[in-house]
Amino acid sequence: MQSASLEAADVALFIKREDLVDAELGGNKWRKLKYNLEAAQQQKHDTLLTFGGAYSNHIYATAAAGQRYGYKTIGIIRGEQHAELNPTLQFATDCGMQLDYVDRESYRNKTSNSCINQLHKKYGRFYLLPEGGSNVLALKGCAEIIDEIDTDFDVICVACGTGATLAGLVSNLSGKQQALGFVVLKDADFISTDIKLLLQQANINPACSWQVNTSYHFGGYAKTDQALWDFMARFKKDFDIELDAVYTGKMFYGLFDLINNGYFKPGTRIVAIHTGGLQGNKGFSPQMNANKRK
Ligand SMILES: *Cc1c(COP(=O)(O)O)cnc(C)c1O
């Protein structure tokens, strides 16, 4: 039982269930979109354009939000078009998102002025959402997660891709609290710098301390191994909570590893955020134990 780890270490663990907020929009991607949608409305946009990989939770959420709130959506997808759409892109298409595929080289240059200008030539006027929805307005939406936590806590944990969600949380913590991010990418030492930059752009001087742990990437983004799938299955059995393999599975794996190794002082109260992302599990093989995307 994983709960035995908590007892042995004398720590309390609470899970903030962002995955349950909404069946389609649930998770941190909705938090990141919220104030961007408000800005798009104020600026009288009717189209949202954004970027993502073929299994992206952000593409999924943007497509769902567009359908619900009446925006046309365009998704610029990294990589080649496949004859058959994967479940993420099928959902996005069903929501009315128009998909456009670009090769990896062009995708890397997606934020350059010339690329954006080309996209405007092709698609006209649009509200541009960055990859992952990670911009200053995203921080404001993610900060609101803290307002909804109705218990005292010392440490808050979250999975990090770009780190924007962590930055948003950090902006709303007290000096006595601490944020701990679990990075799901390999060789991601740049994330601390990115987080600092985002905080700076948002004019936030954090009261709390924060750090990122880069030890639990499992070989890189969307890479998994049997130990991770086993952990997720045990977690489901013990707590009846499903985790995703790209983000929350790695965070909880790392968190329990730290707990088991005495990382937290006895009495520590931890809140871990379940940021959703369960749609991404459909991209792995049906047995749920394959180590690669289909
Ligand atoms: C995108 C995502 C994250 C990471 O969010 P960042 O703000 O990019 O760090 C964490 N969990 C899930 C489920 C996500 O989809």
**pLDDT, tens digit, for every residue of 6-49?**
999 999 999 999 999 988 888 999 999 999 999 999 999 999 99
Cβ < 6 A, ligand 1 pocket = 27-29, 57, 132, 134, 159-166, 244, 247-248, 275-277
The domains of the chain, with CATH numbers, are: 4-24+136-292 (3.40.50.1100), 28-133 (3.40.50.1100)
Test site for ligand 1: of 21, 28, 30, most ligand atoms within 8 A of the Cβ? 28
Q: What percentage of the chain carries pLDDT values higher than 90? A: 93
Give residue 180 CA to ligand 1 midpoint distance, Å.
14
Test site for ligand 1: of 139, 247, 278, most ligand atoms within 8 A of the Cβ? 247
For residue 137, pLDDT over 60 is answered with: yes
For residue 291, pLDDT over 60 is answered with: no
**pLDDT, tens digit, for every residue of 58-75?**
999 999 999 999 999 999
**pLDDT, tens digit, for every residue of 213-225?**
999 999 999 999 9
Which range among 168-182, 251-265, 273-287 shows the weakest confidence by mean pLDDT? Answer: 273-287
Give residue 214 CA to ligand 1 midpoint distance, Å.
15
Test site for ligand 1: of 20, 21, 25, 57, most ligand atoms within 8 A of the Cβ? 57
Q: What is the mean pLDDT of the segment spanning 257-286?
A: 94
Contact 273, 144 (CB under 8 A): no
Q: What is the pTM of this model?
A: 0.96
What average pLDDT is seen over the chain? 95
Phi-psi region of 272 (alpha: psi -120 to 50; beta: other; left: phi over 0): beta
Q: Burial level of 170, CB count in 10 A (0-12/13-18/19+)?
A: buried
How many residues are present in the chain? 294
For residue 287, pLDDT over 70 is answered with: no
